[in-house]
Structure 1
Amino acid sequence: MSNICQNTLNTASPDVRQAAPPEYQSAVNDTFFRKEVAQAHSDQWMGTIRLAQPMSVRIVAGFAMVIALCVLAYIFFGTVTRKARVTGMTLPAGGSLTISAMNPGILTRSFVTEGQAVIAGQPLFEVATERQGSSGEISMLVAQQLTIQKNTLASERRTRVAQHRDKASAIDERLVNVNAETLELDQEIALAQRRLDLAKSSLVKYETLQGSGFVSAAQTQQKQEELIDLGARMSTLTRAKLQLQATKLNLAAERTASVGELDNTMSQLQRSEAIVDKDIAENHSRRTSLILAPQAGVVATITYRSGQAVAAAQSLAVLIPQASSKQNMEPLEVQLYAPSRMMGFVATGQTVLIRYQAYPYQKFGLHRGRIVDISKAPFAPNDLPPHLASTILSNALQSMPGVNSNEALFRIKVQLSRQSIDVYGVAQPLPAGMTLDADIVQDRRRIWEWIAAPLLAATQR
């Protein structure tokens, strides 16, 4: 009964607890305990005070403890990754070739289509560069004059060849006559030599007979005179032979000189014809010019159609070089362009997380790559590839705050882990020229290390 009364007093107000019944107080006062004990019993005559603890308080405390442990575990085991966000696009690993117009004009013919494989030297486009004057199309008039010049040179060539042929024929005839005269003269000389020998023998006989007294001195002298006449005749014939030999040498030299003169004339005519042919080719190029494929590959993009006007150095198409006979196109790589303030911790071998703009990463996920090359110097906007400069700069301005259109950008080459992307369960090859955003993973640390980094840095100073 006393316990029930004490519990009732515990839940009562303080005024009720202080006011104890007089009977109880008198009973306490009559005991043999000290006054302090009696006073304490008089203050707690209805029991001790106990605070109520509902079950909800315990549940909340338990949840708070679990959350605190989770936060501590996250701080201790969780990591913080430092990333650099840049933009870029997919391009062939071997690069791409820009097919440009050499002269301004009108694109008259296109011999290829997008996706077509071509070989080196194959015609791709034909550009007309005709100019009109008061008398008609200028290049046509120039072509007519150049044709007349070429015909004149050809006629002169034929004339000079005919002249040389006639002259050589005349020289050959004179050489034949000289050879015949030389042969006859040799015969006369042989006869004269025989007569001279006979005259010498006869003179010897006459001298012998004169010594014997059979002939007179006058007869012997006559024989001597005959011998002298024959010697003079022999000298005349010998001199004539020498003259014929000199004539023969002169004719041979004249023939050789004629051949040299013809060769010189032909060389001059060939140079003149070459100049005219060059002028004809240049004039033809002013009318139409063929643009050929510099090497084998696949035509990826054609930017102009037949009938459109093109400027000098204007890009007409993009050619992706052929990698091998078993592979139509080069494997793709990603080229990222970043300003200098993002290049402090970028290095080869770092992982790159790629988000293709054509495939939202929320649905198709992130794609991995690895940095394989970093340019040693930045590219000015004018140094960027002409057919990619506008795309690169616009993506950089949109995705990287603070970048201006005149800022130089470093090129980062990334090797892709896959050349395709899974689209609804189907592996679809990545096309060249796809724009993308990428995060370069530069550093990974524990959260507690990141929180304590300022303190650790301060202690190391």
Structure 2
Amino acid sequence: MVSMHSLRCNAMQRHRNVEDVPRARASMKLFRQEAVEARSAQWLGTVRLVRPLGFSVATAVAAFLAVLLVSFVFLGEVNRKAHVPGLLVPALGSVNITAPTAGVVSQRLVSQGDRVQPGDVLMVVDTERQALGGEQAGGGVETRIGRQIESRRQSIERERAMREMQVKQRDQSMADRLRTLSSELRQSEEELAMQRRRVELGKKSADRFAQLAREGFVSEVQAQGKQEELIDITTRLQSMERVRLSLLHDQQVLVQDRQTAQAQWQNDLQQLARGEESIRQEADENASKKTFVVVAPALSTASKIRRYRVAALGPALGQAVQAGQLLVTLVPESEDGSVALEAHLYAPTRAAGFVQPGQWVYLRYAAYPYQKFGLYRGQVLSVSGSPYTLGDLPGPLAAQLGAQVGPGEALFLVRVQLDEQTVIAFGRQQALKPGLALDADVVQDRRAIWEWVAEPILAAKTQMKVLAAHPKPNHGGEGGV
């Protein structure tokens, strides 16, 4: 009971203390209670500030835009691009045929867009020069030279026919002489055989008479006569052998002369053939000076190219051409009959440092304004290791690029593979053509926008580090001994 009573007394004491707090605060107020009550009872009411809804909307929109801007700066990216000029070329290359000399187009056997095989005749150009007297002088210079060459050729043919007839006659005479010698040799062989037989008989008869003379049946004179007869027939045999040897020698000499004559005739034939070949070459050269034929060049067996397409024809029929003037441009076709194009970009040194294979390229064709026909994409295939100058490029290309790059500036060739070989113009696809000029943006890298904005500050910081690491030398002599 005591504890419950003490707790109740403590609670009542705390309640009295709480009630005394407002009275103490009221006694400590700066203004009188009457003034406070009079002030609180205003007949116009209290002043309340109401904020317009437009201000709240503007504040919310501004805050949202600020968040977007900050997010764009820190999360957005910007591309660093290299702007380079270029043009479209066939991926398999092109063949430009120029005129070796001045002349006039006498025949045009193909038209633009035709497909031709290697070796086909494309054009004939007449290059004959006229003499000072014109028609009265007997035609052009090449025509008169041609007549002289033809006269020389006929003279060589007549000489060849005459010498051939002489050689045949001489060979026939030698053949007849050889037949005669062969007959004489056969006859001499027969006579020698008979004479050898007589010598054998003479030896036997002389030996028999010598035996009879020793036995006394015949006189010595008769035996000596037989020996003289043997000597006589033996001498005839030796003479006949000398004649036979002489005939054999004559036959061998005649055979050698005939072989020598044949060899000489073959040598003369070769000389005449060389003369005819020289005249034929002169005639071909004279004909080439009179006219030259433009043909499609041959292709290697390992190449995938099977034919050409005529991309451009320079001069018209009857038009005069100058030496070195472009006559025909041929574009090789692949096995499926298509002509693949690629872009050749010529990047100056200031833009070629970071161009690498695999980078994306956005192309703007000069013939198809990008504002209306859009951009077309490609990919870098390769970058040349050595630079080119405008003088290293063909004349038309150098003139085209000279207006876009500085004079004397080195250029690096950048080959770009096209994603599309056509453009969409007025609702239909049109095939691209070789030689079209273009501008390209090569996407080199991507960086955050805040890095791009802070790039001057970062560059200045880097420059300060460089200056701090390499202080300028003191040239004034301050602090010197």
TM range, normalised to the smaller chain? 0.7 to 0.9
| Correspondence list, 1:195-214, <5 A | 195-214=198-217
Q: TM-score, normalised by structure 2?
A: 0.82
Q: SS of the counterpart of 2:350?
A: helix
Q: Structure 1, residues 212-253: CA drift from partner, whole Å, max 9, x if none?
A: 101011111100000000110000000000000000000000
1:65, 1:129 → 2: CA distance? 83
Matched, 1:154 2:152: no
Q: 1:322 aligns with which of 323, 333, 344?
A: 333
| Corresponding residue for residue 60 of structure 2 | 62
Matched, 1:451 2:453: yes
Matched, 1:254 2:257: yes
The answer to which of 203-212 and 124-133 deviates more is: 124-133
Q: TM-score, normalised by structure 1?
A: 0.86
2:211, 2:187 → 1: CA distance? 36
Q: SS of the counterpart of 1:230?
A: helix
Q: Aligned partner of 1:391: which letter?
A: Q
Q: 1:352 aligns with which of 343, 346, 361?
A: 361
| Correspondence list, 1:9-408, <5 A | 36-38=30-32, 51-133=49-131, 134=133, 135-136=137-138, 137-295=140-298, 296-324=307-335, 326-327=336-337, 329-394=338-403, 397=404, 403-408=405-410
Q: SS of the counterpart of 1:415?
A: strand
Tell me: CA distance 1:93–1:35, structure 2 relative to 1, closer, same or farther (3 Å).
closer
Q: SS of the counterpart of 1:121?
A: coil
1:112, 1:167 → 2: CA distance? 58
Q: Aligned partner of 2:439: which letter?
A: D
Matched, 1:415 2:417: yes
Query: 1:385: Cα distance to partner?
Result: 2.8
Q: SS of the counterpart of 1:341?
A: coil
Query: 1:164: Cα distance to partner?
Result: 0.6
Query: 1:449: Cα distance to partner?
Result: 2.8
2:319, 2:410 → 1: CA distance? 34
Tell me: CA distance 1:367–1:94, structure 2 relative to 1, closer, same or farther (3 Å).
same
Q: Aligned partner of 1:428: which letter?
A: Q
1:213, 1:312 → 2: CA distance? 119
2:221, 2:390 → 1: CA distance? 123
Tell me: CA distance 1:43–1:70, structure 2 relative to 1, closer, same or farther (3 Å).
farther
Q: Which runs of 5+ in 2 are unaligned?
A: 1-25, 299-306, 466-481
| Corresponding residue for residue 27 of structure 1 | none
User: Is the 1:92–1:332 contact (alpha carbons within 8 Å) kept by the matching residues of 2?
Assistant: yes
Query: 1:48: Cα distance to partner?
Result: 7.0
Q: SS of the counterpart of 2:286?
A: helix
Tell me: CA distance 1:71–1:43, structure 2 relative to 1, closer, same or farther (3 Å).
farther
Tell me: CA distance 1:35–1:199, structure 2 relative to 1, closer, same or farther (3 Å).
closer
Tell me: CA distance 1:51–1:425, structure 2 relative to 1, closer, same or farther (3 Å).
same
Aligned residues with identical type, % of pairs: 37
Q: Which runs of 5+ in 1 are unaligned?
A: 1-31, 398-402
The answer to which of 365-374 and 131-140 deviates more is: 131-140
Q: Structure 1, residues 277-302: CA drift from partner, whole Å, max 9, x if none?
A: 11111111111111111143111011
1:34, 1:218 → 2: CA distance? 214
| Corresponding residue for residue 18 of structure 2 | none
2:310, 2:399 → 1: CA distance? 21
The answer to which of 39-48 and 250-259 deviates more is: 39-48
1:207, 1:43 → 2: CA distance? 212
Note the aligned Cα RMSD (angstroms).
2.3
Query: 1:423: Cα distance to partner?
Result: 3.4
Q: 1:426 aligns with which of 414, 425, 428?
A: 428
Tell me: CA distance 1:453–1:164, structure 2 relative to 1, closer, same or farther (3 Å).
same
Tell me: CA distance 1:44–1:303, structure 2 relative to 1, closer, same or farther (3 Å).
farther
The answer to which of 143-152 and 381-390 deviates more is: 381-390
Tell me: CA distance 1:457–1:392, structure 2 relative to 1, closer, same or farther (3 Å).
closer
1:35, 1:222 → 2: CA distance? 208
1:263, 1:203 → 2: CA distance? 60
